[in-house]
Amino acid sequence: MHKSCSLILICALFSCILAGCWDRSELNDLGITSATGIDWSEGRWIISYQVVVPSGMWSGTGGNGSSSQATIHVFSSEGKTIREAASNSNLEIPRQLYFAHTDLVVIGKAAAEHGLADLVETYLRSVEARESVVMAVTEQRASDILKLFVPLERIPGDAINKIMSKQEAISGYFSIVRLIDFARDLYSDSRTTGVPEVNLRGKRDAEAHSELTSQDFFKMTFSDSRLRLTGVSVFKDARRIGRLDLKESFGVSILSAEVKKSIVAVPCPSASSPNGFSSFRVEKNKDESDP
Amino acid sequence: MKGHERFMLIELISRLFRQPKNGGKPDMSDTQPQEALFGVPLRIAVAAARTKMGDSIDFVIREIGRDDAGNPLAAVFYVDGLVDAGKVSGLLETLVQAAPNAAEVPPPPPTLRQMLQDRVHSGKTVAIPTEEAFYSAVLAGSAVVLVDGCREAFSVSVEGGDKRNVEEPSSQTVIRGSKEGFTETLSTNLTLLRRRLRTTQLRIEYRTIGRFTNTQIAIAYLEGIANPTVLTELRRRLDAIDIDGVLESGYLEEFIQDHSFTPFPTVLNTERPDSIAGHLLEGHCAVLLDGTPFALVLPVTFFKFFLSSEDYYQRYDIVTFIRGIRFLSFIVSLLLPSLYVAITTFQQEMLPTTLLISLAAQREGVPLPALLEALLMELTFEVIREAGVRMPRVIGPAISIVGALVLGQAAVQAGLVSGAMVIVVSFTAIANFVIPSISMSAAIRLIRFGLMFLAGFFGLFGILAGLVPLLIHLVSLTSFGIPYFLPVAPLSLANLKDVFVRAPWKAMRSRPELISVRNRTRQQAGKPNRKEKD
């Protein structure tokens, strides 16, 4: 009896250590973060969180998000280091931020040009943040991009992630770069890598901005401005040193055999239409390189 | 648990429940003077019997014939209500006709017995040599004939009285299969069993247990197929029972089971004669008793509790699918609430993003932590369930309205409970009803609460820390010496044919290992059941 008692005690003890009662958190105490944004401004890091508002997604009695609440809210805070900025966010966010479901980290142009070594380090050291988060660079401020809705989807962070993975699978213009890939590439021989850019296209004035940040956006059937993947930012030693446009980055993708499937338009003049084009479907992409 | 510690524990428990020194035995020798029934003038014997029965109004003594002094020559003793009135009047008529009038000498006992056997067409006539046998025969529903001056009485079986008809079993219904269920009468039940097993090898042994109830117990088995070690052990355990009364097979179950400190049943109960017959054919033994439609089957393994007798009547492929559903329901019923609690409070990473957000939205504004919410809802369901069993049938619809509307929908709308939790609890409850055995589903219900606590405090690791000792416990159980987890641990490939899948009947050529040891052949090999067509 002593034996079985002690066995049970040991089991209970181990489960204490393994699970940790301190990790316990109710779902309604979590601030589920769908995307993170990093900006650099006047020597300070600005970190922005796109936090999902669950009751905006699903109203209490069921029924799919018919309430007038926005589905996300963006919090921004700044500090001398990324960690400090993150820590300062506790001054204004009521819930415990939860990063396990964060799909996207958006990097502002200024931050990208300042260098991302700190960001990579923060991600690699932090227990909560996932290295598998997908990266995107923007020419605007990251915090502004996080505020914009994407048509059809209710969580913009998730939507941008979906756009990226869908185009990678179907069109192959850019390949997705996860933070861990980014870090790995930085320690490769070339010490360079490319990260897809996401930018607001179309009208970019204040009116368009307020249109895209309002929940009323879902009531419209058309909008002049929307988020779009526009190219690739090229990084060397974790610093943005330039960009490739769509055509160039597609070329890079094809050369590095990262295209799984795509459509290529080629000139195909004929008698009836001398400037005609035809499309090829790319089914296979192989390369051989000799360094 | 070591031997001496177990002994100390038992000692402690028995000290707690220590009985008065005489063991509560009905001790009548002190209060009443012992008066003989046999070998005394009948007048005195009648008076003695009347005193012994305490002038009970249902104890009837009919005196027949008078001698010169007006003393009765013979008397019939029976208990009103236990006997069939028509049979008794037939017996009395016969006796009166045969009764010697004053002039004649009463016939000697062997003649009387022969006479009763010849003339009374109501079953067996047995000689009663002792006083104890006299009373037990009277109380068992026989009419006992005592003749003046005889050293022996005769019981004539005239059992009758009110009993329930054979009806469809209420606890184990099937779509296809026999609709007969056991009743409270042992003889009827044995008839139902005998009708299904018309063989000389079906053996039925009688026992009487219970000092006050004198309940008749029947052990049924197939000679040459049942495991003799199990039978010997069963007889030994039944004979060791000393109790004032046995009112239901549950009493016996607790006395004869191998392990008391377990929520899991190690003896199967059923009210279906076809189920008992099927088990006997596999080599199990059955215990039936008077006063309950529930018979016991032993030894049984854990997996037996998930099988239904209908499994053998339906097509094997369909049954295999249904068994899959049953084992899935078992897992759901045991684990769903604890998994929900563990994942939503500890391992949220395991949920897909949309599901997580949906669950989070439902929990928005719910005041209680998930563990308390789950416990509260589970307890509420247990209360509704218990109320549903106990309440009068007429109030039935009221409770379902209260249960479904007030506790389900209204609680969600009021924001006290999240909708997901209601779904989890209802699905768990429904999954629990899929398990064919009530005693097994009760065990699962009990363990579920323990696992919910572990999940609420330690997350998924807590569930594992609960499940591993549970499995260790299950594997350590035995039922009459047969391992409880039999076809899985120890592994028995032959028995696996009829656990998670049900092999086609043609493929089940042998009886299960260990359950049946002597004659394991069900079908002769090389003898096709039907000729293949060209």
Quick check: bond before B72 cis, omega within 30? no
Q: What is the pLDDT of residue B493?
A: 87
Is cis: bond before B490, omega within 30 of 0? yes
User: What is residue B94's predicted lDDT score, i.e. its pLDDT?
Assistant: 77
Residue A67 scores a pLDDT above 80: no
**Helices A179-186 and A117-125: angle between axes, nearest 10 degrees:** 120
Contact A285, A254 (CB under 8 A): yes
Convert the pLDDT of each residue in B79-117 to its tens digit. 988 888 888 888 888 777 766 554 455 556 666 666 666
Q: Do A28 and B363 touch (CB under 8 A)?
A: yes
Count of C-beta atoms within a 10 Å radius of residue B446? 11
- DSSP E strands: which ranges in B179-284? 202-209, 215-222, 268-270
Rounded to whole angstroms, the Cα distance separating B189 from B409 reads 46
Identify whether the C-beta of residue B65 lies closer than 8 Å to the C-beta of residue B73.
yes
What number of helices (H) and strands (E) belong to chain A?
10, 11
Quote the minimal CA–CA distance from A189 to chain B in Å: 35
Predicted confidence at residue B306, as pLDDT, reads: 94
Q: Which residues of A touch B (CB under 8 A)?
A: 1-2, 4, 7-8, 11-12, 14-16, 18-19, 21, 23-28, 30, 32, 34, 52, 54-55, 57-62, 98, 100-101, 103, 155, 158
CB nearest B356 (choices: A21, A24, A32): A32
A139 versus B25: the higher-pLDDT residue is A139
Mean pLDDT across chain B, nearest whole number? 84
C-alpha span between B167 and B436 (Å, rounded): 19
Residues of B in contact with A16 (CB under 8 A): 458
pLDDT at residue B242 in the model:
92
Taking CA atoms, B518 is separated from B233, B278, B469, B515, in Å, by 17, 17, 35, 10
pLDDT value of residue B365: 81
Judge whether residue B304 has pLDDT over 80: yes
Substitution target in B364, B413, B472 with the highest count of A β-carbons within 10 Å is: B364
In the block, tokens 């696992």 appear at B451
Name beta bridge partners: B285.
B298
Mean pLDDT, range B190-198, rounded to an integer: 94
Partner residue facing B369 (CB), from A4, A26, A32: A26
Candidates A10, A15, A154, A158: best to mutate against B (most CBs of B within 10 A) is A15
Mean pLDDT of B184-199: 93
For position B4, what pLDDT does the model report? 65
Å between B489 CA and nearest CA of chain A:
20
Picking from B47, B49, B109, the residue whose alpha carbon sits closest to that of residue B79 is B49
pLDDT tens column, A203-216? 777 777 788 888 77
Residue type, B393: R
pLDDT of residue B333: 95
Count CB-CB contacts under 10 A for residue A248.
Answer: 14
First to last CA, chain B: 64
Output A116-123 pairs: Cβ under 8 A, ≥24 positions apart: A116/A38, A116/A182, A116/A235, A116/A238, A116/A239, A117/A186, A117/A238, A118/A45, A118/A81, A118/A82, A119/A38, A119/A82, A120/A179, A120/A182, A120/A183, A120/A186, A120/A238, A122/A82, A122/A83, A122/A86, A123/A179, A123/A183
Q: Judge whether B419 is closer than 8 Å to chain A, CB to CB.
A: yes
Q: Which residue has the higher pLDDT, B160 or B78?
A: B78
Going by the DSSP 8-state scheme, the letter that residue B376 receives in this structure is: H
* Reported confidence tier of residue B532, pLDDT bands at 50, 70, 90: very low
- Tell me the pLDDT tens digit for each residue of A141-185: 999 899 998 888 888 999 999 999 998 888 888 889 999 999 998
Cross-chain residue pair A54–B361, CB shorter than 8 Å: yes
Of A72-76, B19-23, B227-231, B250-254, where does mean pLDDT reach its minimum? B19-23
Q: Which residues of B touch A60 (CB under 8 A)?
A: 361-362, 364-365, 415
Provide the pLDDT confidence category of residue A280 given band limits of 50, 70 and 90.
confident
How do the domains of chain A map onto residue ranges? 26-257
Whether B23 has a pLDDT exceeding 60, the answer reads: no
Reported ipTM: 0.84
3-state secondary structure B297-358: EECCCHHHHHCCHHHHCCCHHHHHHHHHHHHHHHHHHHHHHHHHHHHHHCCHHHCCHHHHHH
**pLDDT tens digits for B478-520?**
999 999 998 888 888 888 889 999 999 888 888 888 787 777 7
- The token duo for B480 is 């009459």
Taking CA–CA distances from B342, the nearest residue in chain A reads: A24
- Of residues A210 and B230, more confidently modeled: B230
What pLDDT is stored for residue B16 in this prediction? 59
Return residues 300-359 of B near A (CB < 8 Å). 344-346, 348-349, 353, 356-359
Contact between A4 and B1 using a beta-carbon 8 Å cutoff: yes
- Mark yes or no for CB contact B469/A15 under 8 Å: no
pLDDT of residue B29: 44
Q: Per the confidence metrics, is the pTM higher than 0.90?
A: no
Are the beta carbons of B361 and A57 separated by less than 8 Å? yes
Q: Look at residue B33 and tell me whether its pLDDT is greater than 50.
A: no
C-alpha angle B407-B412-B418 in degrees, rounded to nearest 5: 115
CA torsion angle B324 B326 B328 B334 (round to 10):
-160
Backbone region of residue B353 per phi and psi (left: phi > 0; alpha: psi in -120 to 50; beta: other values): alpha
For residue B372, give the chain A residue with the closest CA: A26
Tell me whether B372 touches chain A (CB under 8 Å). Answer: no
Residue of B nearest to A12 (CA): B465
Tell me which residue of B132, B133, B54, B67 sits closest to B106, measured CA to CA: B67
| pLDDT for the residue B99 | 61
DSSP 8-state assignment for residue A127: S
Q: Do B345 and A26 touch (CB under 8 A)?
A: yes
Cβ distance B134 to B103 under 8 Å?
no
Picking from B338, B346, B351, B357 by the largest number of A CB atoms within 10 A of its own CB, the best residue to mutate is B357
Share of chain B above pLDDT 90, in %: 42
- What is the distance in angstroms between the Cα of B379 and the nearest Cα belonging to chain A? 21
Q: A78 exposed, middle or buried (CB, 10 Å; 0-12, 13-18, 19+)?
A: middle
Cite the beta strand spans of B409-494 per DSSP E: 478-479, 482-483
Residues 6+ apart with CB under 8 A from A193: A177, A181, A182, A185, A186, A234, A235
Helix (H, G, I), strand (E, B) or coil at B67: coil
Tell me the pLDDT tens digit for each residue of B92-101.
Answer: 887 777 665 5
Q: How far is A102 from chain B (nearest CA, A)?
A: 9
Give CA separation, B133 vs A25, B95, B140, B142, B294, in Å: 72, 22, 10, 11, 28
B428-469 pLDDT, tens digit per residue, is: 999 999 999 999 999 999 999 999 999 998 888 889 989 999
B514-528 pLDDT tens trace = 787 777 788 876 555
Residues B175-190 have pLDDT tens digits of 899 999 999 999 899 9
State residue A16's pLDDT score: 64
How close A219 gets to chain B, by Cα (Å)? 22
Contact yes or no for B264/B253 (Cβ under 8 A): no
Per-residue pLDDT at B123: 65
Please judge whether A58 and B358 are an interchain contact, meaning their C-beta atoms are less than 8 angstroms apart.
yes
Give yes or no for B261 touching A (CB within 8 A).
no
Contact A21 B458 (CB under 8 A): yes
For residue B402, the SS3 value is: helix
> CA angle, B254 as apex, B261 and B12 as ends, to 5°?
50
Type of residue numbered B494:
A
Helix (H, G, I), strand (E, B) or coil at A209: helix
